[in-house]
Amino acid sequence: MSETPNLFSPYRLGPVELKNRIVMAPMTRNRAGQGNVPSPLMVTYYEQRASAGLIVSEASQVSQQGVGYPGTPGIHTPEQVAGWKKVIEAVHAKGGKIFLQLWHVGRISHPSLQPEGGLPVAPSAIAAQGQLFTFTGMQDFVVPRALDAKEIPGIVSDFADGARHAKAAGFDGVEIHAASGYLIDQFLRDCANQRTDAYGGSPQNRVRFLREVTEAVIGVWGTERVGVRFSPVSDFNSMADSNPDSTFGYAAEAMNQLKIGYLHVVDPIGAEAAPGPRVTRTIRTRYRGTLIANGSYDLQTGNAALASGEADLVSFGALFLANPDLPERFARGGKQLNSPDRPTYYGGDQHGYTDYPFLQG
């Protein structure tokens, strides 16, 4: 007889035993050091949050071409691997589990961040709207260079190398970042992908790049320790799709066929929710494995998502950023919560990073 699960129920994620179903969502914090190497401050930050059932690390670029912001950690040099090793050892010493999020930003970059000042790359030569933060202040997004199909295997192999490096560092698994308007999401959604070759057009074709990356990463890790993240209705980084249910229904089915370890779906339920139907329910019917729900959840709505079977695990972003002991705070009723301080989200020092107080007593 299985009891109704809640956030405190343990969970078996393939071979990875999670002590609860509270996942720390991936969050870019721009505190990496010189050479995009994970810093000692990052060791403290992740160690403080090791009571999560699972931590998904901040997005980490698989190549120099995949960089979109200052101070984000990478997973493509020996120094970066050594830096991550210290983070992982600290999390493991506290009984935590941690996956690395593998990242390539695609068009969300700038020549000043690219190798030899080149243009960022994307499925199609369509610029994102607005500006991005660079070493020289805010800059307009540039029109990216559309990738030649011949270049795609090289990027797939950068993801495989990132996966290999993550394994060497000692992570418990990896999550492929296919959300938030970065390279893989740019291929998935038709606002950014207007290719006429085998990587554009139908959902089948737009999912091809994700499928190739996922197969390559599974080649390194096996199926069970590989997760994938989607944000079907998020408009972040000026993204949109003409039919999210169709695109992400198909993408979910493709991930089901590949038997990945989990799907992580950003589909907000709170004040920031996009108008229109949520896509998680469609995904749930097309993907039969572990589903992590994300987007404005709290103790009550997180427990409800688990009890109804909508999700198997729930991830928390801003709440975990501001509450290093979030599981303990939830266990005590979830009323006493620190508020997240937005001005210190991206970059800076320990302030707004490792100095959020723990509950007393």
- The least distance separating ligand FMN from the CB of residue 194, rounded to whole angstroms, comes to 24
Tell me whether residue 220 or residue 314 sits nearer to ligand FMN (CB atom): 314
Judged by beta carbon, residue 160 or residue 266, the one nearer ligand FMN is 266
Active-site residue set: 182
| Shortest Å, Cβ 297 to ligand FMN | 6
Q: Which residues bind ligand FMN (CB under 6 A)?
A: 25-28, 58-59, 101, 177, 179-180, 229, 266, 294-297, 316-319, 345
Kindly state the smallest distance separating residue 43's Cβ from ligand FMN, in Å. Answer: 18
| CA–CA distance, 46 with 43 (Å, rounded to integer) | 6
Q: How far apart are CA 324 and CA 356, in angstroms?
A: 7
The candidate with the shortest Cα–Cα distance to 205, out of 218, 214, 192, 196, is 196
For ligand FMN, the closer CB: 200 or 232: 232
Q: Would you say 28 or 280 has its CB closer to ligand FMN?
A: 28
What's the rounded Cα separation, in Å, for the pair 90 and 93? Answer: 5
Measured from the CB of residue 25, what is the shortest distance to ligand FMN in angstroms?
A: 3
DSSP 134: E
**3-state SS assignment for residue 294:** strand
Question: CB-based contacts of 356: which residues, under 8 Å, 6+ apart?
Answer: 321, 322, 323, 324, 338
Q: What angle do CA 220, 226, 231 make, to 5 degrees?
A: 135
Select 146 or 311, whichever has its Cβ closest to ligand FMN. Answer: 311
Residue 172, strand partner residues: none
Residue 316 CB, nearest distance to ligand FMN (Å)? Answer: 5
Residue nearest ligand FMN, CB atom distance? 317
Distances (CA, A) of 231 to 44, 88, 173: 29, 27, 20
Quickly count helices (H) and strands (E) in the chain: 10, 14
Matching residue, tokens 């169709």: 246
User: Are 32 and 73 a contacting pair, CB within 8 Å?
Assistant: yes
